[in-house]
Amino acid sequence: MAGPFGQAHGPARLTMATALMERKGIAYASTCHALLHVLELAYGVMLVAIAQDLGATLLVLGVLANVFGFAYGLTALPVGVLADRISETRLLAVCSIGMGLAAIVVSLAQGTVSLGVGLCVLGIALGIFHPVAAAFISRIATNTGLGFAYLGTGGNLGLALGPIVVGAIASGSSWRIAYAVFAVPCVILGLLFLRLPAPARSVPAAAGAGHSSDFKSLRPYLAPLVLVLVIGVLNGLIYRGVLTFLPTHLSENVNLGGVRIDSVMLAGSFTSVALLFGVAGQFLGGYLSDRRSREMLALFATAVSVPALAAVWGFGGLLLLGSAAFFAFFHFMSQPVFNALIADYTPNLWRGRMYGVYFFCCFGVGSFSASALGYVAEAHGVEMVFLVCTAIGVLATLCTVLLVLKVRGRTPVDRTPEAA
């Protein structure tokens, strides 16, 4: 039997070489995920500094965040197709090196137009990652849920620690330097990906054996897949809105008893404190998804996020910070669960394409909340962003209830012998 990277191994046990390659692959992908989210969240953390430097309003910067997010999500569609045809390790190398070069482009922006161009390039580079990495992990990880847990934990470490690191660099120098600093590790990581072998793909034994890449192989799970995609859109709207405006909201409504700290550093520090809880949630979600009903876990995490968002809107001070941390825990807990559900409902040879569609829904369609919520923030105050996100969370919860009802009694395609 072939291992995930093509080496031979017995059915009960991986060879040492295969296990090492699996660990390296997961470690590199998790590190790339961390760097990606540092660069993604940097814009929201430095929003105030960028606005002051370029003389732009929150509405304009929200539109630029929309441009960035849409490029991020749209890239997932063609890249998802490529992930079923080209080595994921090579695509991840292109992603990492592209992230580094794009960060330099953003750092050189001299106005809102050039900033928009730079953010678009960065969004395209970042957009390569999620469908490719998700397909990569689903193909090489011995335990799918745990593999996604490590991948998600890496991303959340970037989300949690990135703001305070970015804030510290920007407050000590400038927002431009903060972008440029992260170019170096991105390029180095891209070179490391080039040293990894390509993972093996399962080959259909015969036509009609459950591996057909035509649309018929998706039909049994088309309804739950559509529901997961709709939930992905709704969660994406929440995700982009929260990441863009949470740093500003925290810096305006949480104080340190008169202690004077640079506004960018303050935004980054508070955001890091809140998002650190997402690290634990991400890992717990991945761990439990190998042991419990994934649909019920998704429902629980989505439902609990709703009152947490309402609290972010309604509270101030330390209660606001605690509410943001509570939301981060459960929102990010759901991410590895939904990633694993895509694998559950998708034959192996469709895996990259379906992850491409899913991440387009999350990041591409979801990006439009940045413009819409930028208008809300400009017209009614930043805190109203989180009331709108609460309403979106209610819709996501209702759709997850439908998902649970729709798949009751079914066996996921990824857990059947013919799909393996």
pLDDT for residue 411 = 55
pLDDT at 200 over 80: no
pLDDT at 162 over 70: yes
Alpha-carbon gap, residue 218 to 351, rounded angstroms: 11
pLDDT for residue 187 = 92
Q: Would 99 be classed as within a structural domain?
A: yes
pLDDT band at 36 (very low <50, low <70, confident <90, very high): very high
Q: Would 210 be classed as within a structural domain?
A: no
- Taking the model in full, what pTM does it have? 0.68
328: domain range? Answer: 16-200+217-419
Alpha-carbon gap, residue 295 to 315, rounded angstroms: 31
Tens of pLDDT, residue by residue over 380-409, are 888 888 999 999 999 999 999 999 988 875
Q: Would 1 be classed as within a structural domain?
A: no
pLDDT for residue 204 = 42
Q: Would 24 be classed as within a structural domain?
A: yes
* C-alpha to C-alpha distances, 309 to 175, 313, 394, nearest whole angstrom: 29, 6, 10
pLDDT for residue 263 = 55
Structure tokens at 40: 């993604």
Q: Identify which of 222-231, 235-244, 315-324, 337-346 has the greatest average pLDDT.
A: 222-231
| CATH value at residue 26 | 1.20.1250.20
The residue with greater pLDDT, 199 or 84, is 84
* CB 104, CB 180: distance < 8 Å: yes
Q: Would 296 be classed as within a structural domain?
A: yes
Best CA proximity match to 134, nearest among 298, 302, 328, 343: 343
pLDDT at 64 over 60: yes
Alpha-carbon gap, residue 406 to 198, rounded angstroms: 36
Q: Would 208 be classed as within a structural domain?
A: no
pLDDT at 132 over 80: yes
Looking at every residue in the chain, the average pLDDT score rounds to 80
Q: Would 7 be classed as within a structural domain?
A: no
Cβ neighbours of residue 144 closer than 8 Å, sequence gap 6 or more: 137, 138, 290, 340, 343, 414
Section 143-169 average pLDDT: 81
Give the least confident one: 180-184, 272-276, 403-407: 272-276
pLDDT for residue 258 = 53
Number of domains in the chain: 1
The residue type found at 256 is L
Structure tokens at 396: 């996501």
CA 301 to chain centroid, in Å, comes to: 16
Q: Would 131 be classed as within a structural domain?
A: yes
Q: Identify which of 151-155, 263-267, 301-305 has the greatest average pLDDT.
A: 301-305
Burial annotation 306-331 (CB, 10 A radius, 16+ → b, else e):
bebbbbbbebeeeebbbbbbbbbbbb
